[in-house]
A and B are shown apart, each in its own frame.
Chain A
């Protein structure tokens, strides 16, 4: 599986995509911009929703109302973030694939976070119908928040880990 990932990374890094981004000299910051703007929408709105579930902050809007309101742009942010992330990855795919922090980020934390998020979104209407937010809703909101914090942590720690052979 890892061998396949390395072969894919080797191929991707040699394509015009990865090479072009690095060689152009000016594209790279815009790729980072795409990644961070998408993530601001995705993680920013995820955190707003999780905080509402946990019950911190104002309870002016019902949970389903807030989830519905932010749904489309929450996921638009995800796809913009992933798109930017893929382009960043393509510039040094082998190094990233071998990096332990990146492996944890992409291999475990992001899939876990997305699954949790889909679960939380699917349950939001039901949880919002109760007079008091159920304990499970608060717990899932808190866990999802922690997972996204862990994703950001693993991303920031990427430069501190040498690539595994």
Chain B
């Protein structure tokens, strides 16, 4: 079933079109890179704040309120642009375990970001940042970096993309 969907994607006229010319393909890449820079930059800045390593004059919640709308925008744009680039080689990516690892780290990053967003207000009310908060921030940082590593490993180790 998944294989059929991937085959359909690979031959879909729009997917072929956006990946076929230098202009459209490189535009997709540029969009993907810039959006993940915004995603990771915003998220890592917040993680570092929660860990007490950055922006200590500002409350964590304050930084989240500014940065997270941009983080989510970057996230959505990165996923859409990533999907369009995935789709042209969908059948190859389907069984690519390194690509699966990238998606898992993306999922963990998403989960940790949601936990941070939902709890940061409460964490700010404690006199000291709770240990749980620091643990989540550290895990979030690690999964974001893992996501980048898996992203570069896919072409480097498997030759796809």
Interface residues of A (CB under 8 A from B): 28-30, 32-33, 36-37, 39-45, 47-48, 51-52, 57-58, 60-61, 65-66, 68-70, 72-73, 77, 149, 152-153, 156-157, 160
Contacts and interface: CB of A to CB of B under 8 A. Distances in A.
Contacts of A60: 62, 65-66
16 contacts: A28-B156, A29-B152, A37-B148, A41-B40, A43-B34, A44-B38, A48-B67, A57-B69, A57-B70, A60-B62, A61-B58, A61-B62, A68-B55, A68-B57, A69-B49, A149-B34
Q: In which size bucket is the chain B interface?
A: 35 or more
A110 to B, nearest CB: 15
Interface stretch (B25-33, B105-113, B125-133): B25-33
Given A29-B153, A45-B41, A152 B54 contact: no
B69 A70 contact: no
**Main DSSP-derived SS at the B contact region:** helix
A77 B34 contact: no
Nearest to A42: B41
Given A69-B55, A156-B30, A48 B42 contact: yes
Contacts of A66: 66
B30 A152 contact: yes
A125 to B, nearest CB: 14
Contacts, number: 110
Contacts of B45: 41, 44-45, 48, 70, 73
- The 5 closest A-B CB pairs, nearest first, are A44-B41, A69-B55, A40-B40, A32-B152, A29-B156
Nearest to B26: A156
Contacts of A40: 36-37, 39-41, 44, 148
A72 B45 CA distance: 10
Nearest to A40: B40
Contacts of B37: 39-40, 43-44, 47, 152
